[in-house]
Structure 1
Amino acid sequence: MFAFGLSRDYVQRWKRRMTLDEPTDRAGVDAVIRELREVRKRERHPPAISPDAGWSPYAAQAFLADQDLVARDYHRSFDEWFAQAEPRRFKTGIFDSTMTYSLTGNALAATRLKLALDARFPGDTDGVDRLFYEFAETLLHHANGEDARAVVAALAAEGRGEHQFNGFRIVLARNAWGDEKMGGYGRRFVICHPADNGQGDY
């Protein structure tokens, strides 16, 4: 722990990494510390990422900053690297609905961006759905650098499906649970970079 000085954040990351890797010797512990030091170096001085490789995770973390969905630290999680924002809550009746944003990829580049809505209300909820699609437009605009309204509007009209947009695979999915009285639904808007391995959960 002392390798990270007084940084409580990095001590917490070290504990998370140790729990996941469960190193059994000094070499394993040193490998965890070495990886976290490399991560800290990249966070302080983000390397340039080729557009062919994906998005800089340190830029992508803030693609939805104006929507109060900033992804937390980008870290290794099993066979992928991952970062997720704290859920943002919305009043939708008795129970709050939530929206969150995450990115996955490899150590240097994010290759998949996902906006997810968990609506704790049976049937579509116009207000939170509208925000979901607005956030999706913003996310695709930051990811691609072009006006994304037409693409998102086409997907929203269908309710679910896939589109190809400038080489990116755009996935919109919806699932429902419960019944008309006690239930809810989820929506997921996923942007897959051509460099993505296609193994993710959409």
Structure 2
Amino acid sequence: MKTGKGTKAFPFAFDGINVQHLPEGSDFPPAGYSVTDSAFGGLVASGYIEESKSGVPEAEQLNRDIIEAFDRKISAVSDEELKAIIARSGKPYSGNLVHAHLVFAAKQQMLRELQGATPIFSIDPNAGVTEQPLAKPGEATPPSAAAAVEKQKAEVEAANAAGENKATNQFGDPLPAGGAKPTAEADVDLESLKKDELEKLAADRGVDI
């Protein structure tokens, strides 16, 4: 059975009927009484009693202290920092933006990282799977970069199907519909051509002879 010390005076009914006023520093539960673990834990969480560390193995007590310290630290983090932690999952967040919900989601992501998941810190526009930005309160959740890439691909395919050319070079200039044309005319052996063939070639190339 768990035991502790009262950190401040409070009333408690061990039998559910008769109320006892327990002074600060008193043993809890008093000799001859017992309480359920849930009731004991509730009083500890509310700050009425402090659980006695005697009888708890050192390794177990260390784990408890780590959990309590971690819980206090993450609960004190700002909403923006919590959002940054949640965003490392690379998945859209559709939960409530209330602080307690952000704390819970951030704890889940930190646990995943402790278990070996690789956090996502930046966006690769060519990967197709990227970090999902978080919406601000009152704003719609923006589409992910992956969705934007898919939309862009669909628009290009639709344009190609309609015969519209939207391909560009590295400077953003549109390319010809049939693809890039040769930059130089093919070599022709002029000495092997007859007069009528030379005249036709000159006409095709716009040369005045």
The answer to which structure has the higher strand fraction is 1
TM-score higher than 0.5 here? no
TM-score by length of 1: 0.26
TM-score, normalised via structure 2 length: 0.25
Larger proportion of helix: 2
Greater relative contact order (CA < 8 Å, ≥ 6 in sequence): 1
